[in-house]
A and B are shown apart, each in its own frame.
Chain A
Amino acid sequence: MSTRSRTRALLDDVSLTSDRLRTIGLYAALYGTAFLFMLPYWYMFATSFMTRDLVYAEVPHLIPWDLTFYWYEYLLNNSLIVQWTANTVILAGITTLVVILIDAMIAYSLTRLDWPGRRAIFAIIVASFMVPGIVNLVPVYIIVSELGLVNSVWGVVLPSAANPLGVFMLVQFFKDIPEELEEAARLDGFSRLRVFTHIVLPLMRSALAALGLFIFIWTWNAFVWPLLIFQDDSMYTLPIGLVTLQDNLGITEPGVIMTSAVVASVPLLLVFLVMQKPLVRAVEMQGTTK
């Protein structure tokens, strides 16, 4: 093949057919949209490293040309941010585990055990979705206060233990587990508790991981209830602590706001990345069953 014909063949390979043009357009649109979604996060991240002059500059900067760690130093030196981070991890961790355990037991009992009124109880749980949480704020606070749980981590964990979202979600998953599996285990002499812990829970790993992730994120971001219960600066969680740093008679410092947003969101991002696989698997499971 001559050089000329080889060149023509190469050009034919890269010629822009309508299909290829459509693909390029599609990718450009998708990446462009993804970029737009990323932009606020990038701005948050970049601003946390900008000097005060850049933060207040007339034209917004996307690149911190003049790099500084001032806002991070400010947060570390003027707040209990390390303590707040530890508190948030502990609170979110305990709440997640308690919710998974309690909700799994409730859901199992509602789907597999035969007891009078279970349909009514399930209906009440589902109906409780319709009641805005803020309506229960004062009554639940009074109960928690009477129990002496104000200023205690259990005052935050226990009211959310029987989470209607979790129960509803797990009931749907439990319904999809073949009853024959349990019957076989019971023929082998398994007790009800052993069936639950050794057969059902392992089969539900993806669903429990998905629920755990939701609860962890929800607890991590919880604001009003922990604020009511924790009556000590050193017990605050990250969202509360960072807000106390941000506002002062309406005065806000963008550098502090953006840096605190980075600090509050990076751990969650890491958790999401770690838990991504089971979350996707749970969604697939739910999507492929009847």
Chain B
Amino acid sequence: MTSITGLASLAGCTGYIGASRDGVEYWTLFGGGDGTVMAAIVDEINAGDSYDGLQINRQRVPWEEHYGRLYTSMVGGNPPDIAVMHSRMMRDYQDSLVSVTDEIGTEPYLDEMAQGGVVDGEQLAVPIDTHPFGLYYNKEIFEEAGLDPEDPPNTPDRFAEVADTIVENTDYWALDFPEGEYAAETMQMLLHSRGGQLLTDDYEPAFETDDGLAVVREMHDWVHEREWAPVDPTNGWDAWNRGEVGMKIEGTWHITVVREAGFEFGLTEPFVMPDADDPVTVGDSHMLIIPQSDDRNRERLEETIETVRLLSQRFNDQWGYDAGHLPASEVALNSDTLRESDTWEQTLETFYGMVEEEQVVRPPATPNVEEYTEQIYQPLDDMRAGNLTPEEVIETAAGGVTQTFERR
């Protein structure tokens, strides 16, 4: 008993007993580079005199657990004031969110991004960015292969030509591409480029088509026919970090990693799918949501809305030039600080160009996002490992997606 009392006292002294806190509770899933940037932004708001003493309690939630925890807290009546949510996840949560149509509106943001938070005419989420895929490339390998490092491939033919050249003229891999959920998004990107889509409006698989098969076969051939990319994605990741891969399909966030890797890099559009009439990239948005709560009074709600405004507008350019994501706010996008930054020159200008050309497609907001995505990426990963043929991938993934929505 004495020991328990002793430990409890120690817990009390270290503040570990816990208690409710003043301030706006804000749950993020940002780690690594963008986590540090979000922490700096929140610290600046908390330290500043110009925000009426606004205090934000930022909390970093592990990526894999973010949505499970958010769901449980909402069911248990203990949600945060603000949480980060991907626009594709909106469907499962839309009935439990506070509308900010009148308080914030969609005008301050790029329309395509803002619409990701609008459901039935109500603005239920506010975008802070879009984070599409691009094609990063290693300029040093381009030079070694006899290619012009300032002339990256932005058409499927040029892409194939460059990849073959790298494989022929160097000892390096030509390409690496993501595994897991990003493999499913890569497939979606290639499919959209040929006018297809992953799901119908009724949540049926829409990739059991010639285009679907062509896309999966292309991803198969990158590894197993042309041998541009390694079988094991981990080897690909390690080789890219060692500067031994020519090109890599990755998102906006990758800039912090590639800077750390230390080689000269560039970025171009990921238009790599042959016979694509309308090449596009896929880009989801990080949105800020306000879960409904009986415990939140008017004053707290006003502080919460002010926090959303600050994070998505006033500090949105910093989110761009420091974290590498393309800001959602029109003002931030046109700010001199952003436009004159290294990040703009290195990556954001290309991403913004694709947004302006309407070449960025948002993943569909559906129920059961994580479940159905898993049904697609698991067979894709199996195919990369050499265990499935493209035809088997289509059949397995379509069956899995159908089952996922039937169970619902």
- Asked if A227 contacts B78 (CB within 8 A), the reply is no
Is A184 in contact with chain B by the CB < 8 A criterion?
no
- 8 Å CB contacts to B: which residues of A190-211? none
- Asked if B19 contacts A233 (CB within 8 A), the reply is no
- Asked if A248 contacts B78 (CB within 8 A), the reply is no
Is A46 in contact with chain B by the CB < 8 A criterion?
no
- Asked if A228 contacts B238 (CB within 8 A), the reply is no
- Asked if A98 contacts B4 (CB within 8 A), the reply is yes
- Asked if B253 contacts A233 (CB within 8 A), the reply is no
Looking at the assembled complex, report how far the CB atom of A280 sits from the nearest CB atom of chain B, in whole angstroms: 23
Is A183 in contact with chain B by the CB < 8 A criterion?
no
Within the assembled complex, what's the spacing in Å between the Cα atoms of A35 and B105? 63
Indicate with 1 or 0, residue by residue over A220-249, a CB within 8 angstroms of chain B CB atoms: 000010011011111100001001111111
Q: How large is the interface on B (under 10, 10 to 19, 20 to 34, 35 or more residues)?
A: 35 or more
Indicate with 1 or 0, residue by residue over A104-145, a CB within 8 angstroms of chain B CB atoms: 000000000000000000000000000000000110011011
Residue of chain B at shortest CB distance from A246: B31
Is A97 in contact with chain B by the CB < 8 A criterion?
yes
- Asked if B4 contacts A101 (CB within 8 A), the reply is yes
- Asked if B72 contacts A233 (CB within 8 A), the reply is no
Binds B, one of A1-9, A147-155, A169-177: A147-155
Looking at the assembled complex, report how far the CB atom of A210 sits from the nearest CB atom of chain B, in whole angstroms: 18
- Asked if A152 contacts B18 (CB within 8 A), the reply is yes
Within the assembled complex, what's the spacing in Å between the Cα atoms of A144 and B65? 19
Looking at the assembled complex, report how far the CB atom of B10 sits from the nearest CB atom of chain A, in whole angstroms: 6
Binds B, one of A18-26, A86-94, A282-290: A86-94
Binds A, one of B54-62, B186-194, B337-345: B54-62
Is B14 in contact with chain A by the CB < 8 A criterion?
yes
Looking at the assembled complex, report how far the CB atom of A225 sits from the nearest CB atom of chain B, in whole angstroms: 10
- Indicate which residue in B8, B17, B242, B253 contacts A58 across the interface (CB closer than 8 Å): B242
Is A56 in contact with chain B by the CB < 8 A criterion?
yes
- Asked if A90 contacts B59 (CB within 8 A), the reply is no
- Indicate which residue in B3, B15, B63 contacts A97 across the interface (CB closer than 8 Å): B3
Is B178 in contact with chain A by the CB < 8 A criterion?
yes
- Asked if B4 contacts A228 (CB within 8 A), the reply is no
- Asked if B19 contacts A151 (CB within 8 A), the reply is yes
- 8 Å CB contacts to A: which residues of B366-394? none
Which A residues are in CB contact (< 8 Å) with B68?
224
Within the assembled complex, what's the spacing in Å between the Cα atoms of A247 and B76? 27
Is B119 in contact with chain A by the CB < 8 A criterion?
no
Within the assembled complex, what's the spacing in Å between the Cα atoms of A137 and B75? 11
- If A101-B1, A142-B75, A248-B30 touch, whether A235 touches B16 (CB-CB below 8 Å) is yes
Looking at the assembled complex, report how far the CB atom of B77 sits from the nearest CB atom of chain A, in whole angstroms: 6
- Asked if B11 contacts A90 (CB within 8 A), the reply is yes
Residue of chain A at shortest CB distance from B27: A231
Residue of chain B at shortest CB distance from A224: B65
- 8 Å CB contacts to A: which residues of B14-37? 14-21, 25, 30-36
Within the assembled complex, what's the spacing in Å between the Cα atoms of A90 and B4? 10
- If A137-B72, A235-B16 touch, whether A153 touches B11 (CB-CB below 8 Å) is yes
Which A residues are in CB contact (< 8 Å) with B3?
93, 97
- If A101-B1, A251-B257 touch, whether A153 touches B65 (CB-CB below 8 Å) is no
- Indicate which residue in A137, A230, A243 contacts B18 across the interface (CB closer than 8 Å): A230
- Indicate which residue in A78, A137, A153 contacts B16 across the interface (CB closer than 8 Å): A153
Within the assembled complex, what's the spacing in Å between the Cα atoms of A153 and B19? 10
Is A250 in contact with chain B by the CB < 8 A criterion?
yes
Is B403 in contact with chain A by the CB < 8 A criterion?
no
- Asked if A231 contacts B80 (CB within 8 A), the reply is yes
Which A residues are in CB contact (< 8 Å) with B58?
233
Is A57 in contact with chain B by the CB < 8 A criterion?
yes
- 8 Å CB contacts to B: which residues of A254-268? none
- Indicate which residue in B11, B57, B75, B242 contacts A232 across the interface (CB closer than 8 Å): B57
- Asked if A145 contacts B31 (CB within 8 A), the reply is no
Is B300 in contact with chain A by the CB < 8 A criterion?
no
Is B69 in contact with chain A by the CB < 8 A criterion?
yes
Which B residues are in CB contact (< 8 Å) with A141?
72-73, 75-76
Query: What are the 9 tightest A-B residue pairs by CB atom distance, in nearest-first order?
Result: A248-B32, A248-B31, A152-B18, A145-B76, A243-B62, A151-B18, A141-B76, A247-B63, A94-B7
The chain A residues found within 8 Å of chain B, CB to CB, are 53, 56-58, 78, 83, 86-87, 90-91, 93-94, 97-98, 101, 137-138, 141-142, 144-146, 150-155, 224, 227-228, 230-235, 240, 243-251, 253
Given A151-B19, A155-B18, 5 more A-B residue pairs with CB atoms under 8 Å apart are A93-B3, A145-B77, A151-B20, A227-B61, A245-B31
A-B contact pairs, 28 of them (CB 8 A): A56-B242, A57-B242, A58-B244, A90-B14, A138-B75, A138-B76, A141-B76, A142-B76, A151-B21, A153-B16, A154-B17, A224-B68, A227-B69, A231-B59, A232-B21, A233-B60, A234-B15, A235-B18, A243-B62, A243-B65, A244-B35, A244-B61, A247-B31, A247-B64, A248-B63, A249-B31, A249-B253, A250-B180
